[in-house]
Structure 1
Amino acid sequence: MKKRILAGVLSVALAAGLLAGCGAETKKETTDSAALKPIKVAASATPHSEILEKAKEILAKEGWDLQVTVFDDYVQPNEVVESGDFDANYFQHITYLKDFNTKNGTHLVDAGDIHYEPFGIYPGTKKDLKDLAKGDVIAIPNDTTNEARALLLLQDNGVIKLKDGVGLEATVNDIKENPYGVKIEELVAAQVSRVIKEVAFVTLNGNYALQAGFSVKNDAVAYETSDSEAAKNYVNVVAVKEGNEDSEGVKALVKVLKSDEIKKFINDKYDGAVVPFEK
Structure 2
Amino acid sequence: MKKILSLVLVTVLSFSLVGCGQASKNEKKNDNNKVIKVGASPTPHSDILKVAKPLVEKEGYELDIVVFQDYIIPNTALNEKELDANFFQHIPFLEQVKNEKKYDLDYTAKIHIEPLGLYSKKIKGLNEIKEGVRIAVPKDPTNCSRALRLLEKNGLIKLKSGELVTSKDIVENPKNLKIEELDSQQLPRVLDEVEGAVINTNYALEAELNPLKDALVLEDKDSPYANILVVRSEEKESDKIKVLTKALTSTEVKKYIEEKYEGSIIPTF
- State, as a whole percentage, how many aligned pairs show the same letter: 35
Matched residues in 1 for 2:137 and 2:102: separation?
29
Contact 2:159 2:171 in 1 (8 A): yes
Distance in 2, matches of 1:212 and 1:74, equals 17
Residue 216 of structure 2 corresponds to 221
- Encode CA deviations 1:175-197: one digit per residue, 9 max, x unaligned: 22334x24133153455444535
Question: Radius of gyration: which is bigger?
Answer: 1
Match among 137, 147, 150 for residue 147 of structure 2: 150
Distance verdict in 2 for CA 1:141–1:55, change over 3 Å: same
Contact 2:167 2:179 in 1 (8 A): no
Q: Partner residue of 1:188? A: 182
- How high is the TM-score relative to the length of structure 1? 0.69
Does residue 1:38 correspond to 2:34, yes or no? yes
Amino acid at match of 1:176: V
2:256 maps to 1:265: yes
Alignment of 1:121-136 (within 5 A): 121-133=118-130, 135=131
- Name the CA shift for 1:79/1:130 in 2 (closer, same or farther; >3 Å): closer
Once the two structures are TM-superposed, the CA of residue 153 in structure 1 deviates from its matched residue by 0.8
Note closer, same or farther for the CA distance 1:223–1:79 as it changes in structure 2 (3 Å cut): same
Matched, 1:65 2:61: yes
Query: Once structures 1 and 2 are overlaid, which stretch shifts more, 261-270 or 217-226?
Result: 261-270
**Separation in 2, partners of 1:136, 1:188:** 18
TM, length-normalised to structure 2: 0.72
Query: How far did 1:140 drift?
Result: 1.6
* 1:115 positional shift: 2.3
Matched with 1:105 is 102
CA displacement at 1:86 relative to structure 2: 4.8
Q: Aligned to 1:171, which of 166, 179, 202?
A: 166
Q: C-alpha separation between the residues in 1 aligned to 2:152 and 2:241?
A: 38
CA gap of 1:202–1:239, structure 2 versus 1, over 3 A, is: closer
Q: Of 233, 237, 259, which residue of structure 2 is paired with 1:246?
A: 237
Count of aligned residue pairs for this structure pair:
235
Aligned partner letter, 1:238? L
Structure 1 unaligned blocks of 5 or more: 1-33
Per-residue deviation, 1:220: 0.8
* Alpha-carbon displacement from aligned partner over 1:100-149 (angstroms, at most 9, x marks no partner): 3334433111111112332101233321223445x152512351433322
TM-align CA RMSD: 3.2
* 2:106 match: secondary structure: strand
For structure 2, the 5+ residue unaligned runs are: 1-29
Mapping of residues 81-96 of structure 1, within 5 Å? 81-82=78-79, 86-96=83-93
* Cα separation, 2, equivalents of 1:81 and 1:109: 11
